[in-house]
Amino acid sequence: RSLIERLRDLDDQASWREFFDTYWKLIYGAAIKAGLSDHEAEDVVQETVIGVARKMESFRYDPAVCSFKGWLMHLTRCRIADQFRRRRPQNVPLASPRTDTTTEPALNVRDPSADVLEDIWDEEWQKNLVDVAMERVRRRANPEHYQIFHLHAVKGLGVRDVAKLTGASLAKVYVSYHRIAKLVKAEVRRLEQTAAHA
């Protein structure tokens, strides 16, 4: 069963944990890049997950109408917009003109348009897929091999530096890096397919 189908059962804690672990950084990262504070971005994550839970009973996934990625982006965009609305004083319209003399910080916030947020979302979506894939691979891979991969791929150390730091031979560094990289790529493809068939 797909993750979305399993989420219909609000008591399925394992599936809801998987959903949260897979997508919270994506939602948070998009909110931060849209111009929200850390606290506001955390609220966006919480409110988006609550929104997903509320919509699960009536949600029918139809990729011809909207992708899961697009649907989740729409929910997140609405929560981000809510945060921007909360920033403005009650008597100021959302589309108030900006002037150089305005000192009210609530008027000087970025209001991400649909296109800007979509670009942010696409960037964060790809980053999140890689992060989640790497975490899943890390949990099941040989710790020494994953450390070699992490030092080379993430920390940017050269092969010789990784070998010196870990005490592994150059051959072992090459082989370990390529094995883990292959697992990460396969996990990214699996996550993409899961989202496409949500």
pLDDT in tens, 70-125: 889 989 999 999 998 888 765 555 554 444 444 444 444 454 555 677 888 888 99
State how far Cα 20 lies from the chain centre.
10
d(CA 46, CA 116): 22
List the end-to-end C-alpha distance of the chain, in Å, as a whole number.
9
State how far Cα 33 lies from the chain centre.
12
Residues found in the chain: 198
116 vs 148: which has the higher pLDDT? 148
CB atoms within 10 A of CB 122: 13
Phi, psi (degrees; rounded to nearest 5) at 156:
80, 20
Q: What is the mean pLDDT of the chain?
A: 84
For position 197, what pLDDT does the model report? 59
Q: Report residue 10's pLDDT band, with 50, 70 and 90 as the boundaries.
A: confident
> What global pTM score does this model have?
0.68
For position 7, what pLDDT does the model report? 84
Please report which helix (H) or strand (E) contains residue 158, including its range.
none
Angle at which helix 68-87 crosses helix 114-140, to 10 degrees, equals 120
Contact 79, 51 (CB under 8 A): yes
Contact 53, 19 (CB under 8 A): no
Angle at which helix 13-33 crosses helix 114-140, to 10 degrees, equals 130
Cα–Cα distances (Å) from 85 to 95, 111, 129, 171, in that order, read 11, 9, 30, 56
Q: Report residue 47's pLDDT band, with 50, 70 and 90 as the boundaries.
A: very high
